[in-house]
Structure 1
Amino acid sequence: MSRGPGSPATTGRSVLFALPAVLPVLAVLGVSLTAAVLQSLGLMPFIGPPDLSFEAWTGNTGELFRATGLSLYIAATATVFSVCIGFLIAAYVLAMPRMGRIVAALSAATIPIPHVIGAGAIGLLLSDSGFLERLLGMPDAFPVLVGGPWWIAAITEYAWKESAFVALVVLGSIARSVGELCDAAATLGATATQRILRVVLPLAMPSLAVSAVIVFVYTLGSYEAVWLLGPTSPEPLPVRAVRLFGSVDLAARPQAMATALVSVAVGAAAILAGILVLRRVRGFR
């Protein structure tokens, strides 16, 4: 019987070791999602008798679709910028060991900063009377970045924060193996750009795919930055869910649960798509 790393015996043993940590998470997640579904259908009301109703799902379909589209736009745009900037940071750190250490330290220092503090800092930087507007001296021509229709300030905050996370993941996954391969490519006459595109980028693709899924799902459900830096209308999914859940009208709770469940469903679909992409990138079944 095979006892290698990919053998059934080894896989079964790994699953058994993971069960004590996974089962509590699955239990909490299952109970929470079940309660949310029941509340969205009117079967677990805060007031009154249970009454099966799809009003929370069908009564405001247009608003729900707009919130979903807006959340997808913010999450996708922030993810693209985060992955691109994070990869460039990682490539610079690998290409310039001395200055790269300083860049890596500065990038890693942003990771523990809470998003609410980062959103406040971006707001002070990009607002109409903020630091950047005063630095450039554009009191009348400065664009509306905070609270604007394109959600530029919120996307900037996510890209700034999450690019450091992407760079950290990429560096942790390829830092040991990429040096010798880049040296070999340089010996064969490859330029710096060719080494980045044909050596570093292929090696970093699995870690980029994983970090992109994590950033997308996190940004999709994040509340602080879009609430502080975005316009009041339209609302992305997390802002709409929190507003409806905190409403004095308890009849709005089913709509809040429906909004939250849509966010969970989109995030789950993104995770499944990321797993499929990662399998194709890494070439395993």
Structure 2
Amino acid sequence: MSTPRGARPAPGSWRGTLLVLPAVLPVVAVLGVGVSTSALQSLGLMPLVGTPRLSTVAWTGSDLLGPAALSLAIAVASTVLAAVVGLVAALAVLGGGRLVALAGLLTVPVPHLVGAATTGLLLADSGLAARVLGVQQGWPQLVGGPWWVAVVLEHAWKESAFVALVVAAALAARAEALTETAATLGAGRWRRLRHVTLPLAAPALVASSGIVLVYTLGSYEVAQLLGRPSPEPLAVGAVRLFGSIDLAARPQAAALATASTVLCLLAVVVVGLVLRRLAAWR
């Protein structure tokens, strides 16, 4: 609940802030140093070789809008699909779906690198799915294709389990009693879902989806293994240029990394604004 204007915050809120400071300050310090170093390198003020000189060539001499749009499109598509599947899975878990809960618990600890390799073996032109279905000719180009389908499906599969566990945990504490009360008052199944379950699940769904969005924006291994060689998302291009033997490409790599970080920060701000507007969050 928000504090009335002019009133002092409760002592408990300050105490909670002080308790999380030991964990937050090191993270903020490391993140701030990393982002600052990347930004300075992209502007030529911290070169590996040569004299520092302010330059915007790394920003203006390369196409950043295309990779940024591609990164955002992959992240948004993966997040929406993961949110939908995760919400349905969470409702199934609360309804007694033990197999769904077990599948989610087994999916979460699987590394994305292993998931990407498995997805490639499953969805490639000569993969397991094509062989089982007997489609040797005309199989859609899901891996390395123009629409980045395998990349989106891998992220959605992995992160939907995370969304499901977060939403199920949030609903388990409050939804049952309120749903029973609504049923006692005569509300049907769909009305209880619309007016009780979904509003209670919204904050957890938005928060977990925001985490998925930010993670997907900064992820590179799945897109590098399952995506096209060109165009590249921001994270893939940054990693490739950072590992290049040409040291002159380091400012461009720093510019791509900085642009990816800015996108992630903007996503965090948007998610925070959405959470503030949710009645259940307040």
Q: Which residue of 2 aligns with 1:241?
A: 238
* Counterpart-to-counterpart distance in 1, 2:245 and 2:271: 39
Per-residue deviation at 1:106? 1.0
Cα RMSD, aligned residues only: 1.5
1:26 CA displacement: 1.6
Which residue is 2:30 aligned to?
28
Specify the alignment match of 1:274 in structure 2: 271
- Say how many residue pairs are matched: 275
Rounded to whole Å, the distance in 2 between the matches of 1:177 and 1:18 is: 25
* 1:54 counterpart letter in structure 2: T
- Counterpart of 1:53 (choices 29, 36, 55) is 55
The offset of 1:284, in angstroms, is 6.7
Shift of 1:53: 0.6
Give how far 1:264 is off.
0.6
> What's 2:164 paired with?
167
Q: How does 1:37-48 map to 2 (within 5 A)?
A: 37-48=39-50
Letter in 1 for 2:82: S
Residues in 2 aligned to 1:14 and 1:192: alpha-carbon distance in whole angstroms: 39
CA 1:191–1:130 in structure 2 vs 1: closer, same or farther (change >3 Å)?
farther
Aligned positions of 1:73-88 closer than 5 A? 73-88=73-88
Q: What CA distance in whole angstroms lies between the structure 1 residues aligned with 2:92 and 2:281?
A: 30
What residue number does 1:106 align with? Answer: 103
Structure 1 CA distance, aligned partners of 2:139 and 2:39?
A: 45
Secondary structure of 1:124 counterpart: helix
Structure 2: how far apart are the matches of 1:284 and 1:229?
37
Q: 1:64 to 1:48 in 2, by over 3 A?
A: same
**Partners of 1:218 and 1:25 in 2: CA distance:** 16
Amino acid at match of 1:235: E
What does residue 69 of structure 2 align with?
69
Q: Give the counterpart letter for 1:131 in structure 2.
A: L
* Aligned pair partner of 2:20 in 12, 18, 21: 18
Task: Indicate if the aligned counterparts of 2:74 and 2:148 stay in contact, CA closer than 8 A.
Answer: yes
Shift of 1:39: 0.6
Stretch of structure 1 that moved more, 51-60 or 18-27 = 18-27
- Deviation of 1:260 (Å): 0.5
Mapped partners of 1:179, 1:50: distance in 2: 62
Q: Which letter maps to 2:36?
A: T
Report which of the two has the higher share of helix.
1
1:254 aligns with 2:251: yes
Deviation, 1:186, is 3.4
Q: Structure 1, residues 215-274: CA drift from partner, whole Å, max 9, x if none?
A: 000000011111100010100011000011111110110001110111111110110111
Segments of 5+ residues of structure 2 without an aligned counterpart are 1-7
For 1:282 and 1:39, the matched residues in 2 are separated by: 43
Gaps of 5+ in 1: 1-5
Matched to 1:144, the amino acid is: Q
| Equivalent-residue separation in structure 2 for 1:283 and 1:198 (angstroms) | 11
Please tell me whether the aligned partners of residues 125 and 139 of structure 2 are also in contact (alpha carbons under 8 angstroms).
Answer: yes
Query: How many Å separate the matches in 1 of 2:146 and 2:108?
Result: 28
Distance 2:144 2:281 in 1: 44
For residues 41 and 79 of structure 1, what CA distance do their matches in structure 2 show?
A: 32
Residue deviations 1:144-191 (CA, integer Å, cap 9, x gap): 000001000010000000000000000111112211222333344444
Q: Residue type matched to 1:78 in 2? A: S
Q: Provide TM-score, normalisation by structure 2.
A: 0.93
1:212 aligns with 2:209: yes
Give runs of aligned pairs for residues 126-275 of structure 1, distance below 5 A.
126-275=123-272
* Alignment-derived partner of residue 3 in structure 1: none
Deviates more, 1:187-196 or 1:253-262: 187-196
How far apart in 1 are the matches of 2:121 and 2:187? 44
1:84, distance to aligned residue in structure 2 (A)? 0.3
Partners of 1:163 and 1:249 in 2: CA distance: 39
Structure 2 contact 203–280 (Cα < 8 Å) conserved: no
Instruction: Measure how far apart 1:197 and its partner are.
Output: 2.6
